[in-house]
Structure 1
């Protein structure tokens, strides 16, 4: 990949979940477009390898347990780059369990990562995004719009994230901040591998079934989700806010 001269756009983005999957693809795409990137995640070694790949990027490895940790991440980003133009909340988990199978710890962890952390980060970032007339993109899910089986906590968290997105978009449209949710169907990431393992299904067989279920003939690539995020943070998308945008190859049609 050829990376534009780092910082050429003069803009800065904070990307959570940057150590793998969609988050990693998002970080690469924004760096390629000339943004300075703050890489956030828990896997320090993976973040370090990505930082070395992306000139001008910085990294912050931590477990975002609470609002204080999220506020600290925003402040680290401002301290490093002096401004914030976009926040992309990519971190997420899924536990394939029904409500009866979901214990308190599973529910709390799913809500913390999928809903609480995006809320805390958005709340902390909004004062800076208002200054830059920036953008927030929350990676939700098609299961935040149409529920799936055996994923009660996940569906609830992603549905909450969609509504949080819409509510914040209304509140901050007057501030010039665009806030949108991207709702992928199945995406070829390590999360999908883990999900297949939870269901006791061979990953290659699961992929064949998933691909066959998509009208376009295949599931989505993380780079395609990243491209949509980049567009939503661009000047061409200033009139798009409060949306929950599907990217699923037509599966929900």
Structure 2
């Protein structure tokens, strides 16, 4: 499929995991890609691979906690390609800790990376998306729908991303911009592989984080859903929370 011929997509978190899978999927479907990530070395390697495949791709090292950097990245994308059709907010982090051990600084960092960056990038991109009749796909989480133990900051941040997406969907539906969120559960990515069980944690509670399936999702499966929501096939879909969690939130 070449659903994104002539389209420009801005993807954060593009150096690994869901972000990498998404920029690869969109690029192979014809999109011009502006890839952003804080990991400059890994980003350069992945961008080079896609460029060799013939994808029109440019990149920028981006610290999503820096408002000015986020706004400058959007303007660089538009200067490079002349427009912006799709914004994919995928960069994120997780913090698994006993609630009593979460510092204010840690709370603030999770909220800044996972939530404030989405707000800033959506705000910066919106004028260009309005001009192009584009759309936004934000990565929320099953943790934005269901309370998970030892994930207070992460749950709060992803719940905020989900309702931010719904609010924008309502505000801009009549102006031609769609906004949706994807809510993955357990995905086989470097992010989830780095999780550590907090000291003294009740292991039984971890059942709330488990899919009903015997396996985790692959990043490419989430990317496929992002591509659907970002494509014209989903022209009547806005304000949705597409849950891809192997049944985690079904019980």
- TM above 0.5, yes or no, is yes
Asked if 1:215 is matched to 2:212, the reply is yes
Distance 1:48 1:115 in 2: 25
Other-structure match for 1:152? 152
Other-structure match for 1:203? none
Residues 156-199 of structure 1 deviation map (CA, whole Å, 9 limit, x = unaligned): 0001111100000000101111101100000000001111x354
Query: Which portions of structure 1, spanning 4 or more consecutive aligned residues, are displaced by more than 2 angstroms?
Result: 64-67, 197-200, 212-217
Distance 1:39 1:143 in 2: 26
Asked if 1:246 is matched to 2:237, the reply is no
What's the offset of the Cα at 1:62?
Answer: 2.5
Selected match of 2:46 from 28, 46, 50 = 50
RMSD, aligned α-carbons? 2.1
Distance 2:4 2:162 in 1: 32
What's the offset of the Cα at 1:105?
Answer: 1.1
Give the TM-score of the pair, scaled to structure 2. Answer: 0.90
What's the offset of the Cα at 1:229?
Answer: 0.3
SS at match of 1:246: strand
Other-structure match for 2:225? 228
Asked if 1:9 is matched to 2:21, the reply is no
Equivalent pair of 2:9/2:85 in contact (CA under 8 Å): yes
Distance 1:157 1:10 in 2: 33
What's the offset of the Cα at 1:132?
Answer: 1.1
Distance 1:186 1:192 in 2: 7
In structure 2, relative to structure 1, the CA distance for the partners of 1:122 and 1:213 (3 Å cut) is closer
Deviates further, 212-221 or 17-26: 212-221
Other-structure match for 1:21? 17
Equivalent pair of 2:12/2:35 in contact (CA under 8 Å): yes
Distance 2:104 2:4 in 1: 46
Q: What pairs with 1:74-85 in structure 2 (closer than 5 Å)?
A: 74-85=74-85
Distance 1:60 1:123 in 2: 19
Distance 1:21 1:97 in 2: 22
In structure 2, relative to structure 1, the CA distance for the partners of 1:198 and 1:37 (3 Å cut) is farther
Q: What pairs with 1:136-215 in structure 2 (closer than 5 Å)?
A: 136-195=136-195, 197=196, 199=198, 213-215=210-212
Distance 2:89 2:25 in 1: 15
Residues 53-99 of structure 1 deviation map (CA, whole Å, 9 limit, x = unaligned): 11211110021233222110100101111110000000111111233
For structure 1, list consecutive stretches of 5 or more residues without a partner in the other structure: 201-205
Other-structure match for 1:113? 113
Residues 83-134 of structure 1 deviation map (CA, whole Å, 9 limit, x = unaligned): 1000000011111123321101101110000000010000000110111111
Q: How many residues align?
A: 240
